[in-house]
Amino acid sequence: MDFVKKFRRAALTVATLAAMALFLAFPARYAKAVSEGISLWAVSVLPATLPFLVLTAVFTKLGLFGRVSARIAPAAGRLFGVSGAGGSAAILSALSGYPIGARTVLDLSEAKLIAPEEAQRVAAVATTSGPAFLVGAVGGGMFHSAAAGWILFASHLAGIYLVALFLRLFRKPQPAKSPLLPSAPLSLSDILLNSVLSVLSVGAAIAVFYAFGAMLSDMGAFLDLSPSAEGVLRGLFEMTSGCMLLSRSPSALSLALCCFLVTFGGLCVLVQQLAFLSKANVRALPFAAVKLAQGAVSAGVCYLLALALF
């Protein structure tokens, strides 16, 4: 175990020094890459994310959230082994997308509305992308097809929930009923500040990993690769740029690969989510393993559905 930790630390040190050297040697090249990442965030992510960050933060502090949680508690417990509050977080995530689901898990954990041991289970179902991004930005914007976007969204949720249902077989049942949760103090200024900081951290992650992808490309990491292979490799670092490359050759396979990237998230999205989830005691490796399984299942579902479109 000590050897693994030392190797991991050494690899991270080498990668960090190499990235610093490249940025210092070619500042204009990688400043442009960072700028492109920021533009991508500003156009595709910020408009759909910031309003929902504010609205979901307000909603979780209202008495209505407690009543909704109590109503869905039986179904959430039977299906996914989570409480009603955890089920509500999953619904909010499906409507708004990441990183809002991860942020909601942290908010609920800090407010003690979900138990510490429950956070890992909630994270498996409350870390989804949303229809605004998948249907609007990826389907309509990249693949030029709203139908492709809806197939992406349906397959994405199917992969997440099917894996969560499977994992439920190995968990003890949750109580069928959730108590009505009291409304929490509502400070709009704090909510706005936290929402802005959250969305800025998302933009920073996208910009940095977009630059990392450019560095890997310049070092020949993507030489002699097919467009699909390059799109997947880039997407494993920054999901949006990978989907953009895959969309240049629209097909059932490219849409399925994009669905895998969106569901798994890539390193960029995982870092964004774990920035919130780690504070809620969610362990990184089990979470990443679940997202990988969900990505594989969603890609299979997406490929079968997309055969009717392409």
pLDDT at res. 221: 64
Output 97 or 135, whichever has higher pLDDT.
135
Q: What is the pLDDT of residues 46-80, one digit of tens each?
A: 876 788 778 877 877 776 777 888 888 888 888 88
Residue 308: DSSP 8-state:
T
Write down the domain spans for the chain. Answer: 23-306
Mean pLDDT score across all residues of the chain: 84
pLDDT at res. 178: 47
Q: What is the pLDDT of residues 251-275, one digit of tens each?
A: 999 999 999 999 999 888 998 899 8
pLDDT at res. 122: 93
Q: Count the alpha carbons within 13 Å of 58 in the hemisphere toward its beta carbon.
A: 9
Residues 214-239 have a mean pLDDT of: 80
Residue 183: DSSP 8-state:
P
Residues 132-144 have a mean pLDDT of: 87
pLDDT at res. 57: 75
Tokens 């969610």, residue located? 282
C-alpha 182/C-alpha 155 separation (Å) is 35
Q: What is the pLDDT of residues 171-207, one digit of tens each?
A: 665 544 444 444 455 577 777 887 788 788 888 888 8
pTM of the model: 0.83
Task: Tally the residues of the chain.
Answer: 310
Check: CB of residue 95 under 8 Å from CB of residue 135. no
Of all residues in the chain, the percent with pLDDT exceeding 90 is 28
Mean pLDDT comparison of 126-140, 169-183, 282-296, highest-scoring range: 282-296
